[in-house]
Amino acid sequence: MNEILQAWRQVDRDRIALILSVIPGAGHLYKHHYTAGFGLLFGGNILMLFIALLLGMATFGLSMIVVPVVYLFAVAASAYYLPDWHGHHAYLHPWRHEMGGEAAAHIDAIEDIEGDAKPAA
């Protein structure tokens, strides 16, 4: 199990975000860009479909292929080059001590109580 965890820590998160962008917005969500991820997942996909259908009438259907392909590549490139915010949201990782503040003080207090409750060896 330890080997699996070590391999997972060394994985290239940019490539995983690129692969997850087959579903536009999923790569952004993976890299913890929630606003952009949900915006692309819901609004961006609907807007892309509307534009492709609207242009499809003028281009004899060619834009129904070109627009989604360009959109997928653009979203995938965006997810690949975004900075990774994994671990930068203290409210998503309340068990970490380095975040400071009220949650860390609460965790320290619990550890002190658990430490006092252990019988002496």
Residue pLDDT, tens place only, 100-109: 555 555 555 5
**∠ Cα 77 67 40 (to 5°):** 50
Residues 52 and 111 in one domain: no
Report the C-alpha gap between 55 and 34 in whole angstroms: 30
Residues 116 and 78 in one domain: no
Q: How many structural domains does the chain have?
A: 2
Contact between 28 and 37 (Cβ < 8 Å): yes
pLDDT value, residue 112: 56
> CB under 8 Å to 20, separation ≥6 — which residues?
26, 27, 29, 30, 79
Average the pLDDT over 52-73 and give the result.
92
pLDDT value, residue 3: 77
* Residue 121, domain extent: 87-121
What is the value of pTM for the model shown? 0.67
Residue pLDDT, tens place only, 67-81: 999 999 999 999 999
Pick from 40, 121, 118, 35: which is nearest to 77 by CA?
40
Report the C-alpha gap between 84 and 19 in whole angstroms: 15
pLDDT value, residue 117: 47
Residues 72 and 49 in one domain: yes
